[in-house]
Amino acid sequence: MSDIDIRKAGHAGRITLTRPKALNAMSYDMCMAIDAAMRGWAEDDSVRLVVIDAEGEKAFCAGGDIAELYDTGTKGDYSYGRTFWRDEYRLNACIFEYKKPVISFLQGFTMGGGVGIGCHGTHRVVGESSQIAMPEVGIGLVPDVGGSLMLALAPDHLGEYLGMTAARMGADDAILAGFADYFVPQDKWPALISALEESGRAALVEDAAEPAPEGKLRGLRQETAKHFAKDSLEAILASLQAAGNEFAQGALKSLNRNSPLSMACTLEMLRRLRADGPAIRRALDLEYRFTYRAMEKGDFLEGIRAQIIDKDRNPQWHHAGRDVPAAAVKEMLAPLGAAALTFEEELS
C-alpha cells in the first residue's frame, strides 16, 4: 500500500511509514500490514532484526488516523473503534514480545499510536528533532497502545505528570522516562540503517549512540515526585494550586485543558499497574477497558469534535469543574467479561 513500505533488505525486515503529509498517522490497514509482516518474519531465519522508520522530517508517527473512528462513533457504531483498538493493541504486544531485535528511528513527533509502533522495540533511537508524547487525555482517552506501562515505570512520578499533562519529551527526556534508549545524531541514521541491513547486528546501534543533550525532565523530578504522587486528581490539583510556582502554574494550565475523567482514570491505571506488577498485557488490558467504553460513556467523541472537527478548543467534558466520582473511574476500568482483550500466544 502507498501508506507503508514493507520489504526485506539484507538481513533486515524493513517497515517504512510513507504518509509524511499526514504526519505518518497510523491507519487500521497500516497496523494490520505491520502485524502480518512481523508475524511472518518471526519464522523467517533470513530476517535477523526488524528496522522501523518513516519518511519526512516532521514526524515518525503523530498518532492514529481517527477520522473513521469519529465518523462511525458519532453514528452510534462503536464496533469499528473497538476492533481498531483491539487489533492495534495486539500488534503493540507483538512488538514488545518479539524474539528478534526491533529497531526504531523516531524523528519529529512520535505520539499516541506512533508510540505503540516505535517505543516497544529493543533499540529505540531518538535524535535532535524527536518529540515524544502521550496526549490522549486532551481528546478524552487515556495513554494507550501500551504507553501506560512506560508511564508506570518512569521514575519520580514522571509518568503521572506526562500522562496527565500530555507534556512533550525531547530525546533525553524520552530516554529518562523509558520511551527511548539511544541518542544518535540524525545525519548518521541513513548509514546506520544501511549497516544494520547489511550486517543484521543490532549492537551497531549502541556503537553509534552518543550522550543526548540534557532535557527538561531531569530538573523537574523533585516537583513531579512532590505533586503527582498524590492519590487523586483532586489532591494533585490542590497540591499544585498551593505551590503556585512556575512548574505548578504550567502543570495546572495543562491539566485544566484535559478531560477530568481521562486524567482520573490515567492516575488509577498507573497505580494499579505498579501494585499488580507492570506487564505489557496487563497494561493493554486496562487500556482496552477504557477505550472500549470511550465513545459510549467517555469524552472521546467530544474531545475529537472540539480539538479536530470544529476546532473550537472548548470541549464540554464530563465532570468539568467538579470532582470525578470514584464510581465513574471504576465503571470505565471495570473488567469487560466476554469482550475482554485477548492475545495470541507469544511469538516463538
Per-residue model confidence as pLDDT tens digits over 261-319 = 999 999 999 999 999 888 999 999 999 999 999 999 999 999 999 999 999 999 999 99
Question: For residue 297, how many other CB atoms are within 10 A of its CB?
Answer: 14
Per-residue model confidence as pLDDT tens digits over 318-339 = 999 889 999 999 999 999 999 9
pLDDT for residue 65: 83
Residue 348: pLDDT band with limits 50, 70, 90? very low
Residues near 271 by beta carbon (within 8 Å), at least 6 away in sequence: none
Residue 244: pLDDT band with limits 50, 70, 90? confident
What's the CA gap between 177 and 228, in Å, rounded?
15
pLDDT for residue 345: 56
Q: Is 85 helix (H, G, I), strand (E, B) or coil?
A: helix
**Across 198-225, average pLDDT:** 98
pLDDT for residue 68: 86
- pLDDT for residue 1 is more than 70: no
**Across 8-30, average pLDDT:** 97
* CATH superfamily, domain at 4-337: 2-enoyl-CoA Hydratase; Chain A, domain 1 (3.90.226.10)
70 and 309 in contact (C-beta within 8 Å)? yes
Residues near 235 by beta carbon (within 8 Å), at least 6 away in sequence: none
104 and 125 in contact (C-beta within 8 Å)? yes
Lay out the sheet containing 12-17: strands in order across.
4-9, 12-17, 49-54, 102-106, 123-126, 182-183
Per-residue model confidence as pLDDT tens digits over 39-78 = 999 999 999 999 999 999 999 999 988 888 999 999 999 9
pLDDT for residue 277: 86
**Across 207-231, average pLDDT:** 97
Residues near 226 by beta carbon (within 8 Å), at least 6 away in sequence: 239, 243
**Across 84-96, average pLDDT:** 97
